[in-house]
Amino acid sequence: AQSVSQHNHHVILSEAASLELGCNYSYGGTVNLFWYVQYPGQHLQLLLKYFSGDPLVKGIKGFEAEFIKSKFSFNLRKPSVQWSDTAEYFCAVTTKGPPGTYKYIFGTGTRLKVLA
């Protein structure tokens, strides 16, 4: 069965530190990949997505992610985090196919806390 793994459940960083959150999926076919962010008390919002083309995707607020097909990974990175990046981050994968066969699968989330 398809699945999405986020191995870091809790990450604590100081401001200006670099961030990398891992995301691995298990599915042999074509996928679309997403990172969503959920700020405290808010709903999920799209951070960035990859459908095709350049595997290095740039999103909002200085975030980027790299799709490495051979590793089934889509890790999220930011060179220098800010206190305002404190949030829950969710990786998600959608598989392709006719309605009724495709899936939209979320990882379990990574809670990032940035210390001022």
Residues that bind another protein (CB under 8 A): 30, 32, 34, 36, 38, 42-46, 49, 51, 88, 90, 92, 94-100, 102-104, 106, 108-109, 111
In the complex with another protein, the residue whose CB is nearer, 19 or 93, is: 93
- Contact (Cβ atoms closer than 8 angstroms) between residue 24 and residue 71: yes
Q: How far is the CB of 11 from another protein (least distance, A)?
A: 14
In the complex with another protein, the residue whose CB is nearer, 28 or 99, is: 99
Question: How far is the C-alpha of 103 from the C-alpha of 89, rounded, in Å?
Answer: 19
Q: How far is the CB of 13 from another protein (least distance, A)?
A: 18
- Contact (Cβ atoms closer than 8 angstroms) between residue 102 and residue 92: no
Which 8-state DSSP code applies to residue 53? S
- Contact (Cβ atoms closer than 8 angstroms) between residue 91 and residue 23: yes
